[in-house]
Every structure is written in C-alpha cells, then in structure tokens.
Structure 1
Amino acid sequence: MTSSALFVHAEGADWISPEPGVTRRIMVYLPEMMMVEVAFEKDAVGAAHSHPHIQASYIAEGSFAVTIDGKTEVLKKGGSFIVPPDLVHGVKALEKGRLIDTFTPHRAEFLK
C-alpha cells in the first residue's frame, strides 16, 4: 500500500505481530494521519509507551483496561479514548477485542 491510496481493501493490508497476542495492520495513511486496526487476544497487553503523535482510539470489539498518564478506566465496544502527545499509555484486553487507532501525524516507524 502506498500513501497515495485513497481506497484500501481489507485483504490488501498486511498483519504484523508487535507483541504476544497482538496483531496490527495499517488500514490507510497520509503524512498527516494514519488509521491502524489492532487485534488482541484475551489478556494480551499493549505495553505502556509514549510517542509524540496524538492518538484517538475506538473500541470496535471487546473490552479493554486503558491506562493513560497513570489513570485506568475500562472501556467496552463503542467506547473511545484520546491520548495527547507524549503521555504514557497502554491497554490490556479483558476479552478478545479490536481497536481502531488513528494517529496524527502518521507513525513513520510502522511503515518500516
């Protein structure tokens, strides 16, 4: 997929596994924004981390314990959260689930 793709079919995106029980695929991106689907097995953890990008996430399936800047809240399907730049954040899947993450600007390291 190139950054100029305006339409991306699900079968055109490759899945990678950045952490045990976690897989992700880039759905679409431009330099200013990126959308990523992230699938979690039950009890899988998206380790605490930070980055300079703004991140907005939508819970498409399942439920997650989401921690942002030391505060944890449980969010279920249909919930969402936003992470300002450089705040430490992470998630734990309380059941099998999927997040749709949007980053601005795009995560160049995801393209390597």
Structure 2
Amino acid sequence: MKRYTLLDNGSKWTEVTRGVRRKLIHTENLMMVIVEFNNGPATIPDPFHSHHHEQVSYVAEGELILFIEGVGKQQLKKGEMFAIPSGLPHTIQTLTPVVRIIDSFYPIRKEFLQ
C-alpha cells in the first residue's frame, strides 16, 4: 500500500441506491466518504443502522435530521458536525433536495471497497 496520496484522481462515484452516491479515500485504518443524497426531501427517515466503526460527519451541503436511538433527534445544516460511537443505531432524514455529508470512519468500512 502507498504511504500517502496527494490527489486521488482514481476515486469514482459509486451509486449506493437511487439518488444516493458515494466517493471515498482511505488509508489502512481511516476512511473518508463523501455521500451525496439527490433524492430529497425525504418524507420519512431512512431505516436505523449501526456498525462497529466510529463515525464523525460534516454536513457539507443541505439540511437533515439526525436520529440517534435512545438519544433523540437533532436538525443539522451545512457547516455542522456530529459523531456516532461504535454500535449506536442511527439514521438521517434529508430535508432539502440535495444533502452532502463527509463521513470519516475508524476502522475503514471494508464493505465499501467491494
């Protein structure tokens, strides 16, 4: 594995589901993912999910509601951030036509590389 990447021109957008795509870069242990939702605003939240990865996220564009099981919900807009500990169920609901989030995961989400 290369020790560094200055510019990742090889990273391409991958369609996750209709209206949702992602692009990523990673090292051995850390992953950054740009997730773009072009299917909003959503009438209901996405299903809850959890993972063993720690996650910190930055809202780069749009507005959303973050739902964290057992904690509550919080409306977030461009420029705001949130953190999700390992194993905590969470989801979002987009409030604007386009939402772009920059997620960082530790350790990397190996399933995103397939």
TM-score by length of 2: 0.85
CA distance in 1, matches of 2:2, 2:75: 34
Mapped pair 1:30 → 2:27 = yes
Checking the alignment, whether the CA contact within 8 Å between 1:62 and 1:94 is kept in structure 2 is yes
- One-letter code of the match for 2:67? T
- Map 1:23-102 onto structure 2 (within 5 A): 23-26=21-24, 28-41=25-38, 42-44=40-42, 46-70=46-70, 71-95=72-96, 96-102=98-104
Residues 24, 49 of structure 1: CA spacing in aligned structure 2 closer, same or farther, 3 A cutoff? Answer: same
Larger Rg: 2
Checking the alignment, whether the CA contact within 8 Å between 1:59 and 1:98 is kept in structure 2 is yes
Equivalences, count? 109
- One-letter code of the match for 2:15? S
Checking the alignment, whether the CA contact within 8 Å between 1:3 and 1:31 is kept in structure 2 is no
CA distance in 1, matches of 2:74, 2:91: 11
Q: Which has a greater percent of strand?
A: 1
Deviations 1:47-93 (A, max 9, x none): 42100000000000000111112411110000110000011111111
1:16 to 6, 14, 17: 14
Alpha-carbon RMSD: 1.9
Structure 1: any 5+ residue segments left out of the alignment?
A: none
What percent identity do the matched residue pairs reach? 38
Q: Which runs of 4+ in 1 moved over 6 A?
A: none
Checking the alignment, whether the CA contact within 8 Å between 1:36 and 1:101 is kept in structure 2 is yes
